[in-house]
Amino acid sequence: MTTEKTFRIALVGCGRISKNHFDAIEQIDGLELVAVCDLDAERAKRAGEERKVPYFTSLEKMLAESDADVVTIATPSGLHAEQGIAAAEAGKHVVMEKPMAISLTGADALVHACDKARVQLFVVKQNRLNPPIQLLKRAVDRNRFGRVYLASCTVHWARPQEYYDQAPWRGTWEFDGGAFMNQASHYVDLIQWLMGPVESVMAKTATLARHIETEDTGIAILKFRSGALGTIEVTMLAYPRNLEGSITILGEKGSAKVGGTAVNKIEHWEFAEYDDDDKLVESANTNPPNIYGLGHQGYYRNVLAVLRGQAKPDTDGRAGRKSLELILGIYESAKTGRDVPLPLRAQM
């Protein structure tokens, strides 16, 4: 495989998150957008004309007629596994927005389809690439905290009823999932990526103010295999706007909090022993244009490097499955009122 090969990308789902994908692809030499697809004909047409590429309203037709090497899927969550499998069976590499599926059965079928077709499966977890989160990950990996006692994740965001009313799939169990599965899924991913495997989870969820099937608010208590405890606190009811998206880690030799509205700012950073990373704290803070952050470009740089044979995936299907399993454990606990051990039974 030539290191200079350009990879052609088709994007499915031209809604809210698509602009981050379009902008990232546009800015990277070696990637080229060649088609877009959306069931909404007007939205597909608008995206195709804006980006000067052919547009489709059928995934099957796009897979048959476009010359894409890679398919990015940014559709409602409940469609992800099925559409990813179709792309893999057509011989395309798959870039999948979070979550990769809404069931472990779907996730496993997607991983298997990509393995069978010998194509790469990338799951988008762009917040891992935020500079403050990268510093926090290095601090954990270098054991700067010593023994970690507690990790807490907070997502206090605002989603008015109008947000859910914009599309009939939002807030449904079949196509979306609730605040944990959709809006906070990156944060569920971060806490288990930073802290290691979860042994068990206890959770409460509620639908307090929005007219939706799924939860708008919830709290989970985690016990990690390391012995540390953790919490994830999520609501879409902050008034009047997004208030905080943060993660805090407290250990015997260090305390750190990455906050802001979307884990974009180091708010506390204190360790018993000095490290040169301490000089990078101020420069790591970012001011992202929206809660999706600035990580999509970095994510696609990794996609390109992997496809050129120069790197390993930052987040592949098996890594994406781990955070999905934790979210499903949270839902199982909320439903049964019991402490739920992980790993889950695969049929969920």
Domain ranges across the chain? 7-123, 128-289+324-341
pTM of the model: 0.94
Question: Topology of 128-289+324-341 in CATH?
Answer: Dihydrodipicolinate Reductase; domain 2 (3.30.360)
Same fold, 7-123 and 128-289+324-341: no
CA distance 30 to 296: 15
Q: Report the half-sphere exposure of 297 (CA within 13 A, side-chain side).
A: 10
Question: Topology of 7-123 in CATH?
Answer: Rossmann fold (3.40.50)
Contacts of 225 (CB under 8 A, 6+ apart): 196, 197, 198, 199
Would you give per-residue pLDDT tens digits along the chain (348 residues)? 456 899 999 999 999 899 999 999 999 999 999 999 999 999 999 999 999 999 999 999 999 999 999 999 999 999 999 999 999 999 999 999 999 999 999 999 999 999 999 999 999 998 999 999 999 999 999 999 999 999 999 999 999 999 999 999 999 999 999 999 999 999 999 999 999 999 999 999 999 999 999 999 999 999 999 999 999 999 999 999 999 999 999 999 999 999 999 999 999 999 999 999 999 999 998 765 555 556 799 999 999 999 999 999 999 999 999 999 999 999 999 999 999 999 997 555
Contacts of 326 (CB under 8 A, 6+ apart): 188, 192, 198, 201, 222, 342
